[in-house]
Structure 1
Amino acid sequence: MKSIVCRLNQDDTFSKEDADITVDLFSKNQYRYTFWDDNRRKLYQCNSFSRSAIDLLNISLMVYYADRKILRRKEDDAWTRQIKLYMPVLEINKWNQNKLLLEKMLSFLSGDIWVFEFRERELNEKETTVEKGMKLYKKNKHEPKAICMLSGGLDSFIGAIDILNKEKDVWFVGHYGGGKGVINYQKNVIEKLISQYQLSDQQFFNFYASPLNGIEDTTRTRSFMFFAHAIILGSMTNDNITLYIPENGLISLNIPLTNTRLGSSSTRTTHPYYMTLLQQLLVNLEIKVKLYNPYQFKTKGEMIEKCNDLTFLEVNISETMSCSHPDLARYTKEPPSHCGNCLPCVIRRAAIEYAYKNDTSNYRDKDFKNTGASENLRSFKLGIRDYVNSKIDTALSVQISGPIVDQIDNYCGVYRRGINELKTLLDKYNG
């Protein structure tokens, strides 16, 4: 088991002789994150954050640190890691009471074994400074009607359009890492939304968080850290607030289409079981944020087709980013773009063609001609063939990645329709 000690206060001298890593999360030499810094003036709109939500943010940052630093290939099965975090928290009683729930939730999300040991702390210098600023900055305090995740991808863009056609008093939360591929698309999407709906840039929060020199790229826990940034913002409200997490139902179910998607590189970001565990954790911590995916039972194509502003979406759909690795375009000296052949790209292409019959987005290898792309195509087509020929009940198939407790018919329906969208696209190619 790899053990990591986290320290959040400069006077924290806690240490463990057998610890593999000690992380001073306040040090920019080990971790670069911007929550308390780059958006400080925007944070002053808020009332004080819940102490438990501050803890949740720091826990998520450290979980992401461990996820990036500890290599899977060195484990016996080349995947499953055992990780112990020594974590300082403000609300120690609540976290000790919810330790097993947190470990269970993260183990499902990442495919690893997580263990936490908590100790009590006080607010650190940055947290205290921002809290004082919130109290002193009494003008223009605001509680939005809702919060919505905004990744720069197609699903979140549709989610933003749909909610803004009903309610404009919404805060949007984005996150970016080290590459340029995502941030440029995020900025562009924000500009489009501000112009179309006459919004204020004060409604948009975009946070950076990345451990220095992270080497493991199967980062399943990134979504937990992404959500925690939005949850802490929501924690300052007096009443319950909804956090919209837009994601199409097929991706949400995380059912492996190919053998390459069976490992921990496959994401469970919005899987219904994970969302249930996270929601229960928020309830137990008395954080008044309700998680909601409005597209749980829609395919990506259906999301496009039913969008509340079809004209605006169609004009700007090519400006969104769905690719797993847009920055790989640098190897061919191109700007960040869609590869066209990873699974997120293929699902995107199938959805756009389902809704519009034509896709004008830029793809580096739309015809699966390169070596890796042709292998992807063969693998996808084998997955589709297995789906078509499978004698396994769909109700069992949708539970491969995790238990589904209710509404099983709706989950089966979105799975079948989503796979059929993919099949229609892939049938055009020989592989």
Structure 2
Amino acid sequence: MKILCTSADSLPAKFQPDEQAFSFFKSAGREGVGNIANTWKRALKRDGFAPDAATWDFVQFCLAACAADLACPRATSADGWTRVIELTVGLHEPLRWIGYEEHLANMLKLLTGDHWTIRLLGGGEALPAGTATAVPHDCVCLLSGGLDSLVGGIDLVTEKRRPVFVSQLAHDDSPRQIAYAKRLGGPNSHWQWSHGITFKGQREPSTRARSLAFYAFAVLAASRLSGERVQIFVPENGFICINPPLVPGRVSSLSTKTTHPQFIAMMQTLLDGLGVKVVLELPYRFKTKGQMLEGCLDKDLLDELASTTTSCGRFRTYNRTHCGRCVPCMIRKGAFHAWGPGRDRTTYVHESLAESDKSSGPDDAMAAALAVLSVEKQGLDRFLGATLGFADAAERASYRKVLGDGLSEVEAILRRDGVL
């Protein structure tokens, strides 16, 4: 599978066989050529963005990887999942990226589970040379519309930090993203963008690389802030950061690595090497979702808003209602249960994990139950296997504890609902 992403003016006259091409930020006006974030560069210039070349090329690369992830169907691969992707990206200043091709390929392999080959060329879009204006913020915080990002935002503003919130446009979550940012940071404290990737043909629904657009937006937002190294906060609980497979068959990219500490470390290495002055923070990597709720610095505000957040992996399948049985819903229920009775006012299609639901795909409640029984029989270390192989000795015990505690939160609702 071959993907080419570059500026419309740099597209070759002819493409390679089976190559899908994309143009950055404006339409190429050519049949079969997809587009990434049409007119966005013009909007950034109007809004006062003037990023340096390293930041801008990081944005272009991340959006190109998102386009490749969407345009390469897993169903056509040899095993029905793992793809072999050749990605060529036009950058504004490719020379600073020399020597990072293998690092990029390994980073994307960890994220998506595929085999990547990366080629970096000139020909990317030039910088959006807006008139830079200062913004009154001291950090960036990702805001998805989920429960963890809400806690992260509440904690930052309670600590008197001044975050600018960055969101990736999502039809189901966009209104609540706007509402949360306004409530926490007031007006003009939120940037909400979309990757705007369009093309003809089948779209791959697994979207394991979608988070790269989120990180690209955050790094771009950081370019408007002053400071030697701008902090970018990624509020995610430790259990989901590591996302251990509940059953042996659910490995590699079947368990997403969007906020995995190893992936974050690889991305930090890349940003440092490129000279992008940001630091990625995982402040809750040693806390479960329940512990995040219990430790929130403004529990009254959290109690008011928590049940309006979105966690469900099948939210659109059930007409924008939490299914109540997928892994994210189980973790959400377990967190509320740990926080205290009466806190969870979420509407679930399946209030009990014991309810049958054959239409929603894998039986995640049964997988969670098998994981709990496996830990009871064989111990936590045997269950985790090589899951913590990435962690250094100083942090391994903390990661082990958060995984054990997180599984215990899920176990509590499995037992409450009579699944165990």
TM-score over 0.5 (shorter chain): yes
Alignment pair present for 1:221 and 2:223:
no
Partner of 1:211: 197
- Distance, in Å, in 2 between the alignment partners of 1:398 and 1:352 is 28
Q: Does the 8 A contact of 1:87 with 1:119 survive in 2? A: yes
Letter in 2 for 1:384: V
Partner of 1:31: 35
- Distance, in Å, in 1 between the alignment partners of 2:98 and 2:118 is 9
- Distance, in Å, in 2 between the alignment partners of 1:419 and 1:11 is 51
- Distance, in Å, in 2 between the alignment partners of 1:254 and 1:366 is 24
Partner of 2:107: 105
Letter in 2 for 1:415: L
- Distance, in Å, in 1 between the alignment partners of 2:74 and 2:166 is 30
**Superimposed CA distance per residue, residues 18-62 of structure 1 (whole angstroms, 9 cap, x where no aligned partner):** 352122233457335374355665x41x5x312122111111111
Superposition TM-score, scaled by structure 1 size: 0.87
- 1:21-420 correspondence runs (5 A): 21-27=20-26, 30-31=34-35, 33=37, 35-36=40-41, 43-44=47-48, 46=49, 48-121=50-123, 123-124=125-126, 127=127, 130-131=128-129, 133-134=130-131, 141-142=134-135, 144-177=137-170, 180-194=171-185, 199-200=186-187, 202-212=188-198, 215-236=203-224, 237=226, 239-258=228-247, 261-262=250-251, 264-330=253-319, 336-358=320-342, 359-367=344-352, 368-372=355-359, 375-391=363-379, 393=381, 397=384, 399-400=386-387, 403-406=390-393, 407-420=395-408
Shift of 1:72: 1.2
Letter in 1 for 2:166: V
Change (3 A) 1:303 1:398: farther
Letter in 2 for 1:369: S
- Distance, in Å, in 2 between the alignment partners of 1:143 and 1:15 is 47
Shift of 1:92: 1.3
- Distance, in Å, in 2 between the alignment partners of 1:402 and 1:275 is 15
Shift of 1:13: 3.2
**Local SS of the residue matching 1:220:** coil
- Distance, in Å, in 2 between the alignment partners of 1:155 and 1:410 is 19
Greater CA drift, 157-166 or 236-245: 236-245
- Distance, in Å, in 2 between the alignment partners of 1:224 and 1:293 is 16
Change (3 A) 1:74 1:317: same
**Superimposed CA distance per residue, residues 228-276 of structure 1 (whole angstroms, 9 cap, x where no aligned partner):** 1111222354521100000000011120113564352421011111111
Letter in 1 for 2:417: Y
Shift of 1:353: 1.0
Shift of 1:67: 0.9
Letter in 1 for 2:174: I
- Distance, in Å, in 1 between the alignment partners of 2:97 and 2:136 is 27
Letter in 2 for 1:293: L
**Local SS of the residue matching 1:269:** coil
Q: Does the 8 A contact of 2:3 with 2:19 survive in 1? A: yes
Letter in 2 for 1:171: V
Change (3 A) 1:329 1:185: farther
Letter in 1 for 2:346: S
Letter in 2 for 1:366: E
**Local SS of the residue matching 1:329:** coil
Partner of 1:3: 2
Superposition TM-score, scaled by structure 2 size: 0.89
- Distance, in Å, in 2 between the alignment partners of 1:85 and 1:149 is 27
- Distance, in Å, in 2 between the alignment partners of 1:300 and 1:392 is 19
**Local SS of the residue matching 2:194:** strand
Q: Does the 8 A contact of 1:188 with 1:319 survive in 2? A: no
Q: Does the 8 A contact of 1:253 with 1:398 survive in 2? A: no
Greater CA drift, 88-97 or 105-114: 88-97
- Distance, in Å, in 2 between the alignment partners of 1:83 and 1:191 is 40
Letter in 1 for 2:163: V
Shift of 1:70: 1.0
Shift of 1:218: 1.3
- Distance, in Å, in 2 between the alignment partners of 1:21 and 1:402 is 37
Change (3 A) 1:64 1:123: closer
Identical-residue share of aligned pairs (%): 26
Letter in 2 for 1:185: R
- Distance, in Å, in 2 between the alignment partners of 1:277 and 1:95 is 15
**Matched positions, count:** 405
- Distance, in Å, in 2 between the alignment partners of 1:114 and 1:295 is 30
**Superimposed CA distance per residue, residues 87-134 of structure 1 (whole angstroms, 9 cap, x where no aligned partner):** 11122112122111111111111101111111113644xx4xx41x32
Q: Does the 8 A contact of 2:244 with 2:255 survive in 1? A: no
Q: Does the 8 A contact of 1:88 with 1:120 survive in 2? A: yes
- The root-mean-square deviation of aligned C-alpha atoms, in Å, is 2.3
Shift of 1:313: 0.2
**Superimposed CA distance per residue, residues 152-196 of structure 1 (whole angstroms, 9 cap, x where no aligned partner):** 00000000000001134211100024xx322233233234324xx
Shift of 1:344: 0.6
Q: Does the 8 A contact of 1:173 with 1:205 survive in 2? A: yes
Greater CA drift, 416-425 or 207-216: 207-216
Q: Does the 8 A contact of 1:189 with 1:320 survive in 2? A: no
Change (3 A) 1:302 1:400: same
Shift of 1:15: 4.7
- Distance, in Å, in 2 between the alignment partners of 1:398 and 1:227 is 30
Shift of 1:398: 6.6
Letter in 2 for 1:13: P
Q: Which runs of 4+ in 1 moved over 4 A?
A: 37-41
